[in-house]
Amino acid sequence: MVVTAARMRKLAGRLAFGFSVFVIVSPAILVMLWMLSLSLKTEVDNMSFPPVFVPSPPTLANFLDVFEKNRIETYFLNSVIVSGLATLVAIAVGVPAAYGIAKAQAHKLAMLTLIARITPALSYLIPLFILFQWIGLTGTIWPIVVTHLVITLPIFIYVMIGFFEGLPQELEEAALIDGCTLWQAFRYVALPLARPGIVVGAILSIIFSWNNFVFGAVLGGRQTRTLPVAVFNMLTFEQVSWGPLAAAALLVTLPVLLLTLLIQKEIVGGLTAGGVKGA
């Protein structure tokens, strides 16, 4: 009876956990399925009442329309350049910065970094726009890259602080005793152990940078728009074409979604490693 009761409690716990995950995830899945439905239907089906969820027959005309009437390849390349450069700079600057903050136990500086991340983007946008306008860079891609550091750098530093604080201090002390300099201990001991944290921080930086709209909308030009801005510009005063709009939204979401699915083991492994080391 004791074994049966324990199994029942375990089964009930699993069912409760699965139901909780379903409740949390189902709205996002429903939105993605509805976007996919809109993108595969004609405008007649999209405007019909009651709504038609399953397209019959499905059509790729909306995706073709997005590529024919919009410079989607250019905007995609712009998003790749902006997100990639902003993430690379965040890695180059954020790793040593997070290591210094962690080893100095500068908790107030770490909190300041978090405050910089949660501060509304509009707080940075106005002075940065004036600065870039003064030096004549508005309309180019470089102001967008620089302003995206406001997104990528703080979150990367904050993630890496936790990983460096969780590393075994004895390993670095042993390296210093063996004659390594502080830089060598960082490069050959701390940096390889923090690789899972770098992966997690980089993925989060790419996701937040890829989805950012405000900086690209204000600082970008006709040739330097990013994908979220290009999708917004598909809205017109005459009508809303739900099919092409949903197709464009899926094209924006798909790269980040595929990237997350492909390296989800790295993300889970990085988070787990950080949790174990911090225990």
**144 compared with 176, residue with greater pLDDT:** 144
Provide the pLDDT for residue 213: 81
DSSP string, 161-223: HHHHHHS-HHHHHHHHHTT--HHHHIIIIIHHHTHHHHHHHHHHHHHHHHT--HHHHHHB-SS
| Pair 218, 133: CB distance under 8 Å | no
Provide the pLDDT for residue 65: 76
Which residue has 């949903």 as its token pair?
246
**How many CB atoms lie under 10 A from the CB of residue 131?**
13
Tell me what the pLDDT averaged over the chain comes to.
78
**How many CB atoms lie under 10 A from the CB of residue 247?**
26
Helix (H) or strand (E) holding 75: helix 72-104
CA angle 60, 66, 72 (to 5 degrees): 130
Provide the pLDDT for residue 45: 67
**Residue 37: is its pLDDT beyond 50?**
yes
Q: What architecture is the 62-277 domain classified under in CATH?
A: Orthogonal Bundle (1.10)
Provide the pLDDT for residue 3: 52
Which of 244-248, 257-261, 266-270 shows the lowest per-residue confidence on average (mean pLDDT)? Answer: 266-270
**Residue 277: is its pLDDT beyond 50?**
no
**Residue 270: is its pLDDT beyond 70?**
no
pLDDT band at 219; cut points 50, 70, 90: confident
Provide the pLDDT for residue 228: 83
Which of 8-12, 23-27, 207-211 shows the lowest per-residue confidence on average (mean pLDDT)? Answer: 8-12
Q: What are the pLDDT digits (tens) for 88-146?
A: 999 999 888 888 888 877 777 878 877 877 877 777 788 888 888 888 877 788 888 88
**Residue 70: is its pLDDT beyond 80?**
no
| Pair 255, 210: CB distance under 8 Å | yes
For the segment 161-187, the average pLDDT, to the nearest whole number, is 78
| CA nearest neighbour of 193 among 102, 264, 88, 114 | 102
**How many CB atoms lie under 10 A from the CB of residue 27?**
9
**Residue 273: is its pLDDT beyond 60?**
no
